[in-house]
Structure 1
Amino acid sequence: MANPIDSPALDDSYVVAEEDPPVASHRKVGRRIGAVIILLSLTLSLAMGIGLKLPLILALLAGGLTLFVVMLAATPYLRFIDHGWWTRYEEFGNQLWGHALSQYLWHFWHRRAEATGALARGPAGPDAQQQARAAGLFDAIYREQYGPDAFMVPLTLLLFVVFFEANYVVLFPLKEMLPGGHPLTGYLAQFGHFELQASAMSGAYMFVVGDAVNSVRKRCLNVSDIYWYVLRMLLAVPIAYSITLALPDSAAVGVAFALGALPIDSIIKLLRRLVNSKLSANETDQPDPLLSLDGVTPAIASQLEAEGVSSIDQLLDMDPVLLAIHTGLPFRFILRLMSQAIVRRHLGDAAFALAPMGLADAISIARLVQDLQTARAQGQTDSPADKIVDGACQLLQSVSKAAWPDRQAVEFVFGNIAAYAYTGLLMSAGGDSSALA
């Protein structure tokens, strides 16, 4: 079956037209935006040169260097819009299509899906028209949340900040080339500590461009990241002044560059430690429940907590697509975490005991329940599935150090996990290979 998500909708009916152009034909937006950025940068440099009555050689030098700095900052985003965004889009399309997409919309976008007729009725699954409507609705939702247009406003803000800071760094040391009595000379002379300012701006610029390149390489660039970059560039000098105030000038310049190259969350932690040391306050670290999930490291837990997920129960209440987008984590990995979270919700900490048997996630338990039901339907009472359930019962009893839970209770809990609506979504989203046959 073809993946309907790969064909974006073009109208409000969310029905995919057969004559839609292929996805590859859309991957030229970055080039056009790049041409617009070059034109705007040159226009602004020309206007600034005329307005400030700069000498021609100085105007050309400042304009050329500024254009290079602006385009170096913009290139990662242009590459992402043309290639990385589409690769990320297709990652979700490879997991959510057909019945899986219908279940996803039912769970997290029920009202919109109901209004557009995108939900499947009955056990037969969605028909061709419902699949097309579901694909078009998903495309519309995805573009609203993460479309290339969403990057335009923060990218514009970032490039304007880079443009003006680059002009300042270029023009300040060249102010001696201005004719005598030029108003810009007196204006720039009012600013002191240029080395500190330029060092802080350069460090922040290095971090912004480097982090953007790294995010584009991993195809996890987010709109919120660009807003953080804008804030990082704007606050580079104030942060440098606040932290290097008591340092000698020779050391302050180097420290300012190092501070500029740090991410904003590291700066916040540093400032918090400084404040706590002054107030004699001690931070207490609480154990993170997310670290109990297989595959979750402290860095991944921090990414999830940044999106408001601080407990296992909260994980099941989040839209997995939006969570994958905002954290930059692979969609398959998010689904795997949610599969583990279902078992944790039903069994609590006792779920750890089932990990050696491969039953720590909902998909494995659902497959076991299917095998158990098949064996019962065939009249088997000592099938491999029964033996696995017996082993799971013994492991759970070793945790509780009692005769509980008994075999009937374990079967009941496993049945609830298999019947859990979210488990059905995970199974249809590629967790059950038989569903793809």
Structure 2
Amino acid sequence: ALAANTQIFTPVQTPTPAQNLAVDQEGGWFYFDSWTRRGNTIRSGPDVRQCLLNLAKALEEVGVLAAAEYNGAAGALSLLPTAGALLGAPTREMWIVYKLVPLAGILSMFLSLGATITPRDAGEFTSEKAFSYGGLIATMKSEVAKTRVHRRMESVDDLSEARRFAREVRERADDEAGGDVAGKIWLGMACQAMLIGVVLVAMWFAQQGAVITWWCRFWGWIFFWYFLVIMVSIFDNIVAAPFTKSWTLRVAKAPSKVKVQSVHPPITQFDHSRHKTIFDRFKEGVHLHHNLTVDEHDQSTYSRTCFYVVISVEGISGWHAFAQFLSRTSGVIVFAFGTALFASATLMSISATLMLLTLVLPIGVIGRVAAMWIASQMNKHNKPILHAVVRTKQEASEHLEEILDLHGIQIETLGYVILDGNCLVKRNPLLSAATYIGLLATPYNLV
């Protein structure tokens, strides 16, 4: 006997009633209302048993051609859990977006479809490394950009690493270019939010008429998968950075008209035999009894923009390593769950599947382009972030002390607003706009 796939095929001469029914079901227009109404009717039973009975009846009425379409649609839909891998590897540019404008970073994670945006290699975080933007943004400099040269400090070869880095911070604070990028960043974030809205609408339409056999009554199954992927992605990006100990400073050039009169020594002048690092000094508590004087004749104002300084210690702790293991394990579990979920979707129309895939997958790429564009705008005029990677916590303390000693620089870090080494205001980071919109928030006004 011949196998079924090698038998000679004879065209249909007189169609059977079953063949006519199958052709009638598959041919013609796709009516979304009817498809949605059938799915909602199946799920409308009072309990799971009634839902399964309704589903069994609906499947009995499906012709062979429609059944082939539904099987193909479910198979195509199972590509969605792999979408994150198609968007490219994590990049330093994406980490900068998340670090400098956390809200834009979160929106990027919503559009990453489960992909990690934070690199795990410490070498990716060096400030000297050139930006490539994943090949999605033009990187050729204009003639104006080529002729623009930053002022360099002389005689730095004989300085310590901490002082050399503090000189870089001083130089960057004196560069006030780039104050017009806030509107462009807001525009990029608005585009990200719009793209997320399109994704959610497409998912809402696609899940209406399909039913999951082992989750019969639940209609929001694609939403559940999507937000589960996002939660795992956010957790993964939080723990992905190869630094357990890292401190962030928000830096701006203070107006010269603000003078500090303090009865206490600056925070950097502490007993090193009692406190090994400046971080230990902060933990003990800081005096805030300082008087500010403002010279009304001085017309100087705050810099239009601030920038960020990050000091990180190489290596991760045991709990950090466990968190990274947990995030990767969670990613594998969610991937398996998503593949099983989409593959087992019944009554899934190929029209709805194609609509979902042709919207969600390109939007994932467009979302990556939007994030890269935001990063390019922040780096267009000067460095929005300076990152020092040191070997020990003691070295990190030395870096921070040198920066806090800089004159005329206002720094927000560890919950304090610091000027000329004096802690002037204590703030709750959760109540600060900078915690959520980063660079878009104006420097704290001491005047």
Q: What is the TM-score with the length of structure 1 in the denominator?
A: 0.20
Highest RCO, 1 vs 2 (Cα 8 Å, sep ≥ 6): 2
Higher helix share: 1
Q: What is the TM-score with the length of structure 2 in the denominator?
A: 0.20
